[in-house]
Chain A
Amino acid sequence: MNLKLIVIFLLMLCLGSFALAETNTVNKDSTAVDSIAPPAPVTMFKAFDTPNDHGHSITLNWQLSADDGAGQNSVLQYQIYRWVPYLMDSLTTLRKAMTTVKEEEIKRGHEKVLKKEMRSLKKEYNAVLKELPSAHKAYPNNGYWKEVGKVPAGTKSYKNTGSKEKESQDYLPDLTDFYYRVDAVTKDSTVRASSKVFGPVQCSGQWFNTGRIPVLVAVILFTFLTIYFVEKAKNGAKLYVRPLSGIEAVDDAIGRATEMGRPILYILGLGSVADIATIASFTILSRVAKQVAEYQTELLVPTYDPLVMAVAQEVVKSAYLDAGRPDDYKEDTVHFVTQSQFAYVAAVNGIMLRELPATNIYMGVFFAESLILAETGALAGSIQIAGTDQIAQIPFFIVACDYTLIGEELYAASAYLGREPLLLGSLKAQDYAKALVIILAIIGLIMSNFGWTQFTDLFKVAN
């Protein structure tokens, strides 16, 4: 009985093996049926230096393979290859060696042996770098094709952008002969079609970015307007600037402080000395300081930036001199606090509650501290006037201050107070530039509604 069972089992095993072998044969045949024919290669392939950049980049263009979206529709992607000499591998090896030495330096400190080793590696690396252009000229000898990128089917261009850093692994040297090819690849990556090789092509940086010509035109136009109005103001022409309630309140606020015998707190914000809002704030500070000197009121200017402090000291000193009271100027009127945002706020809040200034003036660049400062000032019962060009902070000043200069009103305020031809002329030029923008925008709107987008394109500036 057992013997019979064993024989049946063996027979079934044999039959199973035969069936499996048969299935495999069928599968092999089906693979043969699904085999892909090589696709057509891309055509009109060309490579050129990427325009309007700092170099280290080559742009490649081509026409799609006939089997991309048509024909056999078998192309899945395009792989981009650049011919690289074996010398590039030497660079990779040297780079790895330098990284190892750097890691050792971190572990062991700056030992002389390591420094010497690093210096010798760098020397060798630089020597290899110098050889790169001639090594590329040796194409197609002593090198190989390296994949530098891939794009999906339907794409007609690729930008091979490398690094400008010589020690980077993506370093793409300028003024070196490169050779490229593009492969149309099917789902079976071994089935592909290579384009003709394009080269030599070199990359280099450009001095002028022609994509920014519209900006150049706008700058020239604006400069012309500014010079025209400055000259007009210098020649004594009366240039009208509409009154700003916030700035007219400054005089009253200074008077109030004098009557109450309390100081005036002037905050220049967290901006740097080169920020436009900070520069505008200096003009307003000058005016405030002059009046303060005349009325012999106390002025407090705690600053966040050391350079802003230096300029503010000069401004206040000059204002006291203009007011004919240079002896009343105190060095600590303008003082540095700290360059940490919230530590500065903590200190200014302390000043507000201890010194109880009659007036707080916030003019300049402000960030998250705006509401904290303005709220504390309101709690201390001070009259508050604020002005900033930071859109996100204006709402807080509007809520917590008595008067707020919104955005450009701050710049206008400096011209309004200063009444200097340079500032007035610049403000007038800005106004006329705005009028020009409105006119151009209306023209553009009409044209774009009729589908003519060429005009809009003039304002799209390349990076």
Chain B
Amino acid sequence: MGFWGQFGVWLAALLTIGIISFLYKDNFLYKACEAIFVGISAGYWFIVYYWDNLYKKFYLQVTNHDLTSWERIIPWVGFILGVMMLSRLFEKIGWLSRWPLAFIVGATAGLYMMIYFVSNAMAQVASTIIPVFIGDWATIIANFFIVAGTFCGLVYFFFSKEHKGAFGLASRVGIWFLMITFGASFGYTVMSRMSLMIGRLDFLFGTWLGMIK
């Protein structure tokens, strides 16, 4: 590894220790690492947005004479909406910035509506409608849990009725199903985070200190 390679490893190791030092308490090293991290990332994203959007999606498109005139006009719509966002900086015309925001929220809501209806509603219903009493005992029990869990979960998320009596019982069963699922999800994610920590320790003790061969 050359000088710059070694320099990179030392810098990464010191920054890692700086961020981990937060576990002890807020300190100068952490503050320095935080400022470096935030500053560099803000600058980095500014450059990425400039080249990806302003240069590639706008400048290259409007100056590309191989495109049709219609295809060259479209990027101007985005550009104008972007400029309108900047009108927030001027009090008198600040209201103009609400138009691009409304456009983004409206257009995205329309696009998502279809996706959500298919994946969150229709597909869920199709997966719940299963023949419960067909197959061996293990399959029957598994299918029963799918159906009961879905119905009781839906009852828990019913907000128009007080959760009392049989309805309340179904709701309580629903929250039990949810909590067991969350517990399993928690354990699974913690294990994946452990692997991230092992990766960092491997870097510190292996790549940096050379204690792990």
Contacts and interface: CB of A to CB of B under 8 A. Distances in A.
Interface of A: 119, 122, 126, 212, 214-215, 218-219, 239-242, 272-274, 276, 279, 307, 310-311, 314, 337-340, 342-344, 346-347, 349-350, 353-354, 371, 391-392, 394-396, 398-399, 406-409, 412, 427-428, 431-435, 437-438, 440-441, 444-445, 447-449, 451, 455-456, 459-461
Nearest to B119: A461
Given A219-B113, A239-B160, A431-B160, A274 B104 contact: yes
10 contacts: A215-B118, A242-B160, A272-B108, A346-B34, A431-B160, A434-B158, A438-B154, A441-B125, A460-B126, A461-B118
Nearest to B94: A314
Interface string B131-165: 11110000000000001001100110111111100
Interface stretch (B5-13, B183-191, B198-206): B183-191
A28 B128 CA distance: 63
Top 7 closest pairs, chain A to chain B, by CB? A340-B41, A274-B108, A444-B129, A395-B186, A459-B126, A343-B41, A395-B182
B38 interface: yes
Contact of B129 (A395, A459, A461): A459
B185 A218 contact: no
Contacts, number: 162
Given A219-B117, A394-B182, A307 B157 contact: no
Interface string B16-48: 000100100110001101100110111011000
Main secondary structure, interface of B, reads helix
Given A307-B101, A346-B38, A459-B122, A354 B129 contact: no
A349 B112 contact: no
A434 B157 contact: yes
Contacts of A279: 105
B181 to A, nearest CB: 8
Interface residues of B, number: 64
B37 A343 contact: yes
Interface of B: 19, 22, 25-26, 30-31, 33-34, 37-38, 40-42, 44-45, 65-66, 85, 88, 97-98, 101, 104-105, 107-109, 112-114, 117-118, 121-123, 125-126, 128-134, 147, 150-151, 154-155, 157-163, 178-179, 182-183, 185-186, 189, 193
Contact of B114 (A215, A239, A311, A449): A215
B71 to A, nearest CB: 12
A350 B26 contact: yes
B205 to A, nearest CB: 22
A406 B178 contact: yes
A437 B121 contact: yes
Contacts of B34: 346-347, 349-350
